[in-house]
Amino acid sequence: MRIAVCDDHASDLERISYYVSRFVAENLLEAEIECFSKAEQMLLKYRKNPYDLLLLDIYMNGQSGVEAAEALRKAGSGCEIIFITNSLDHALDGYRLKAMEYLVKPVSWEEAEQALRRCCSRFADSSRYIEIKCGKEIKRLRLCSILWVEVFGHQSVFHTSSGELTTRTSLDEIEAMLGASRFSGAAEAI
């Protein structure tokens, strides 16, 4: 999961990024967190490698958090947004831009944790992974990237959103790694 925190006040940026880091650590999530003091900087990075979750201050020098969110929504972005601001004046903008949360400063740890929990429940599978052995290498494979798996005896081909990985793994081992609730078997070939 990729997370961006954007606030032009250094103390608020530090506090919110600490809350995000703490939440990620306490919930054993795999996440990359980046901090920005300007919305323009965040948008440039976003265009190269999109974020899953944005925590945006609304009142910033230069482009506001609302303007940044509008640009992302116009471009078709479905990322989750948490607005963090000093005022309720833009609550309707938050609703219009499909923000998941709208927090008023000063934000407490409890408020941040609750907001992050609601947002991150959507990403529960995106940070979970399995490890498979491909030749002499161990590869981490995100569960959400697996499209399907073909098994031929003890050889398996994992078809993922970024390509194929071949490993010597049996069907029973794959079922154990993926969990019964995620596994949907197909009929054997004739």
User: Which amino acid does the sequence have at 173?
Assistant: E
Residue 187 lies in a domain: no
pLDDT at position 53 is 93
Residues 108 and 163 in one domain: no
Residue 68 lies in a domain: yes
Residue 190 lies in a domain: no
Residues 85 and 99 in one domain: yes
Structurally, the chain folds into a number of domains equal to 2
Residues 62 and 105 in one domain: yes
pLDDT at position 52 is 87
Strand ranges of the sheet holding 2-6, from the earlier edge strand across to the other edge: 32-36, 2-6, 53-57, 80-85, 101-104
DSSP bridge pairs for 57: 84
Residue 189 lies in a domain: no
Residue 83 lies in a domain: yes
- pLDDT 10s per residue in the chain (190 long)? 889 999 999 999 999 999 999 999 988 788 899 999 999 999 999 988 889 899 999 999 999 999 999 998 888 788 899 999 998 888 888 888 989 999 999 999 999 999 999 887 766 655 567 778 888 877 777 777 788 889 888 788 988 876 788 898 888 888 887 765 455 555 444 4
Residues 100 and 150 in one domain: no
Look up the CATH number of the domain holding residue 82.
3.40.50.2300
Residue 141 lies in a domain: yes
Question: Integer distance in angstroms from the first to the last C-alpha of the chain?
Answer: 41
Residue 72 lies in a domain: yes
DSSP letter assigned to residue 99? -
pTM of the model: 0.66
Can you give the residue range of the structural domain that contains 16?
2-123
Residue 31 lies in a domain: yes
Q: Give backbone dihedrals phi and psi of 20, rounded to 5 degrees, phi first.
A: -65, -45
pLDDT at position 122 is 67
Please compute, for residue 40, the number of CA atoms within 13 A of its CA located in the half-sphere on the CB side. 4
Residues 94 and 110 in one domain: yes
Residues 22 and 40 in one domain: yes
Residues 151 and 58 in one domain: no
Residues 139 and 114 in one domain: no
Residues 98 and 73 in one domain: yes
Residues 136 and 106 in one domain: no
